[in-house]
């Protein structure tokens, strides 16, 4: 039985990567500079005050967002991280997660809005998002390292690709679920499309958008170990080093720090979503 001819998809992809690197290499250098500066600047800001001052600030923010119980969790949780000598790596990880999440959100929300307002955009974006969600995260690292070398930047870029889809999907879903009668009423009063979007659709879709932002941040945090494999500093590097050296205690401590950071970010973003006027009206 004759075999099917081999389709050299890998060779075509390699040729595409080489073409991009040869033609728009300076663009990748600029992206590298911007992301590296953002991560380094945010990390320097987080590491500038004494650690106990930052722990108190995080606890105070938790009190403002969710009350004294969450503030107590933040105080005890980050105090534990500080006592394990994992606070500096945790802040480095936080800077990477925040930069990657900010980039992903800045891309996801406009894409979700465009997909909600255009069936053609939605049909075109959907298979790309499916590919981004199902492709193993390690595969992203191959071209990313080729473009940006090792360090925090390839970790951020791979994290953005991995975390982007839920932000787009939930933004589109939230806008599509806005009652059409409300939108038609706005149009009947002469509101232009951009005013309908900013004054009606986005505020009513805000709970769904905030849920998407929450998922973006959680997925970004789940990439910290992979980012550590490509040279990004922080808890990911601590976990990766512990795995390669079979250091059970060090790996457990870094994992606990990741859990504390994940719970704090998850509850904080959920609380921000609950503070929207739409959410308060639904629960009031």
Task: Kindly state whether residue 21 falls inside one of the protein's structural domains.
Answer: no
8 Å CB contact between 224 and 234: yes
What is the domain extent for residue 124?
A: 46-276
User: Could you tell me the two tokens for 199?
Assistant: 């004054």
Closest CA to 170 of 115, 103, 127: 115
Q: How many C-beta neighbours within 10 Å does residue 227 have?
A: 31
CA distance 192 to 180: 15
| Domain assignment present for 118 | yes
Angstrom distances, CA of residue 247 to CA of 83, 99, 193, 224: 19, 30, 58, 18
- Cβ distance 254 to 89 under 8 Å? yes
Instruction: Tell me whether residue 41 is in a domain.
Output: no
Examine residue 19 and state whether it is found in any structural domain, yes or no: no
pLDDT of residue 72: 92
Within a 10 A sphere around the Cβ of 21, how many other Cβ atoms? 13
Nearest to 92, CA basis, from 239, 243, 190, 208? 239
Q: Are 258 and 84 in contact (CB under 8 A)?
A: no
Asked whether residue 22 is domain-assigned, the answer is no
Nearest by Cα to 214 from 260, 254, 138, 163? 163
Count of domains for the chain: 1
Between CA 164 and CA 129, with CA 123 as vertex, the angle to 5 degrees is 20
Q: How far apart are CA 126 and CA 114, in angstroms?
A: 12
For every one of its 284 residues, what pLDDT tens digit does the chain have, with 9 covering 90 and above? 556 677 777 777 778 777 777 787 788 788 888 888 998 899 899 889 898 999 999 999 888 888 888 899 999 999 998 888 888 888 988 898 899 899 999 999 899 888 888 888 888 888 888 888 787 777 777 777 777 777 778 888 888 888 888 888 888 888 888 777 777 777 777 777 777 777 777 888 888 888 888 888 888 888 777 777 777 788 877 887 887 887 788 788 888 888 898 889 888 888 776 655 555 544 44
CATH number at residue 151: 1.10.3720.10
Rounded to whole angstroms, the Cα distance separating 49 from 44 reads 9
Token pair 């930069």 is found at 99
Question: What is the C-alpha separation between 36 and 20, in angstroms, rounded?
Answer: 21
- pLDDT at residue number 284: 46
Structure tokens at 58: 């995080």
212 in any annotated domain? yes
Instruction: Classify residue 23: in a domain, yes or no.
Output: no
For residue 114, being part of any structural domain is answered with yes
């Amino acid at each position: 039985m004759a075999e099917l001819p081999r389709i050299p998809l890998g060779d075509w992809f390699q040729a595409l990567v080489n073409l991009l690197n040869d033609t728009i290499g300076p663009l990748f250098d600029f992206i590298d500079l911007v992301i590296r500066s953002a991560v380094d600047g945010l990390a320097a800001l987080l590491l500038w005050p004494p650690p106990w001052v930052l722990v108190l600030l995080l606890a105070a923010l938790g009190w403002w967002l969710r009350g004294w119980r969450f503030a107590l969790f933040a105080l005890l949780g980050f105090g534990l991280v500080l006592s394990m000598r994992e606070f500096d790596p945790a802040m480095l990880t936080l800077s990477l997660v925040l930069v990657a999440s900010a980039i992903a959100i800045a891309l996801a929300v406009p894409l979700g809005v465009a997909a909600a307002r255009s069936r053609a955009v939605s049909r075109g974006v959907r298979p790309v998002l499916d590919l981004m969600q199902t492709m193993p995260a390690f595969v992203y690292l191959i071209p990313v390292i080729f473009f940006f070398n090792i360090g925090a930047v390839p970790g951020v870029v791979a994290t953005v690709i991995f975390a982007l889809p839920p932000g787009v999907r939930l933004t589109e879903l939230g806008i599509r679920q806005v009652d059409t009668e409300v939108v038609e009423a706005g149009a009947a009063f002469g509101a232009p499309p951009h005013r309908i979007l900013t004054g009606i659709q986005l505020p009513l879709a805000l709970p769904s958008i905030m849920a998407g932002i929450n998922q973006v941040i959680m997925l970004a945090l789940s990439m910290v170990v992979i980012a550590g494999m490509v040279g990004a500093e922080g808890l990911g590097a601590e976990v990766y080093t512990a795995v390669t050296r079979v250091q059970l205690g060090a790996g457990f401590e870094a994992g606990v720090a990741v859990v504390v950071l994940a719970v704090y970010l998850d509850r904080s973003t959920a609380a921000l979503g609950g503070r929207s006027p739409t959410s308060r009206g639904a629960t009031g």
